Chains A and B, each alone.
Chain A
Amino acid sequence: MTVEVSKVYLLDVATGEGVEAELRDAIEQAQIDDWAKHWIPVVLAAIQDLVARQVPRADWPQSLHWNWPKKITRVQGMLAFPGFSVVAQGVTQGLAQLDLTRGCQEPGQKGKPLVYVEYLEVAPWNRSELGATPRLRGVGTVLLTAAIALSYEEGFKGRIGLHSLPQADAFYRRIGMTDLGPDPACQNLRYFEMTVEQARAFFEKEEGR
């Protein structure tokens, strides 16, 4: 399999400078190795901190228990479940796994195919909700933009959907996605969808930056 690599830019929060990064249209062994070697120790430290601060478990970021090797093994070689990764400064900065088998829920586009973002996670050192100042900004936006671009490439006209973890609800509203409310079929997480028009507006805004 040939992996397509695109050049993207992230923001180094400490210096305010742009950082060159690779957007790769796959999640490979190197990403799984980075997850085990670099992400997990930071996640474990964050969990220890949450316990020490007696933060109720219900308020912990839900993605802390995500096991990427398991997620990737489950969909290995399956056309319907592509993945993306962002690599910068020699290490994986974010991962996304998508599902192309689902249909839209938003009344104006119900039943039409979309790119469903099954999992999207940025490296723990880039997440402000884990306590420290993030190192790099823009990883989640790069991955979401890749999902919308894939939707165009597949002929789905930019339509994407996802169930949001509570700490990300405001972000998805801010970028213009339609909030279809809590979904009892998915742990009551809020379901967001991007329409053809919203995708066009999203790209026009991104290009204007």
Chain B
Amino acid sequence: MKKHRTSPTTDSRYKPARPFNADEFGRVRRILGGKVLFVQGDAAVAYGALLAGCRFFAGYPITPATETSEILSQLMPRVGGVCIQMEDEIASVGAIIGASRAGVKSMTATSGPGFSLMQENIGYAAMTETPCVIVDVQRSGPSTGQPTEGAQGDIMQAKWGSHGDYELIALSPSTVQECLDLTIEAFNLSETYGIPVILLTDGIIGHMREKVVLPEFEEIELTWRREPTKPKEEFQPFLVDSTKIPEMAIFGTGYHTYITGLTHSETGYPATDSQVDHHRLVQRLCDKIRDNRDRIVQVERDYSDGDKDTIGIVSYGVTSRSVNSAVKMLRQDGLKIDHLRLVTNWPFPEKEVAELSERANRIVVPELNLGQVYHGVREAVAGRSEVIPLWKTGGEMHVPHDIVELVKGGVK
């Protein structure tokens, strides 16, 4: 019988993001217009994705993340990609995982309720070591909560949302510029480590307009997954070298790869009855991130002169903006303030917080929830400093004055 192909439209064949070069980057830059833009955080995320080489997006409408979908629906076809709306968030993550395995950088964007729905498939991406980026524009929860209000209530869920043991990376931008920069970073990290990366923005930054400067091709680095270096007959999809990160055979390249969420051996085949295989796999999924935590973790330090008897503030995301103003006010009053901003939420910057606790007698942790990063800080501080939370919910940011009062008063 004659050889048969199901899809005759060869000219529509999707171009993988792998040969991402200066020309393609330049084309995206031309589509985005000027070098300096004034846009929303949700838009900056979309632009960052296009510049990073993302060419597949699947999403489901949800406030306050919808703008990212809308902008990518507009622009993605223009750069040769595809942007689709799925029937729910579960399907959205499923589609981006399928697309990633078929050879493209892929992304979805959502908010709290959708992020909850995505958790099972995020665990699948972690277990199968599939690169993808999930943007969570956090809003007040639990449940439907305050759809139009920002919050920082998903920090713990980002790490612990799916069942079982795994590691992933979560980043918290605090400006619209960082929404763009960290989206590119999220793609690089997901491609390098073969994991889902979560970008934790929020309803405030997502909808806030700010100046954004687009990068030049030479200024940024774009990574791509390591493809098989061994011949097909010898290739084992989950056999790793000292990096503990497997090479990834893309579907349709002749490797007959078997990918499952079941516990699997190096061959990829199920090994569900083996305690040894399971432990080795799950330990490696964690180690490939933990071993590289110094390369992954990013923080920003704004410390006072001197190295002891300071007052520390640990902040992240949109809350850092209130803290920046408060720090200025407190320093004008002659106080020695150390501000540690966590750009990376996961893996938790434990070492950096511990170092701060060597300097600071007290550490204030303002966040838009009722206690999430607070717990990580307490664990890292291990009793060396007093840790004072400043929790706020309801959709409004901290007023700098609240932080100043707390720091000066020293008591809650």
Real complex partners, A and B? Answer: no
Binding site for A on B (CB under 8 A): none
Binding site for B on A (CB under 8 A): none
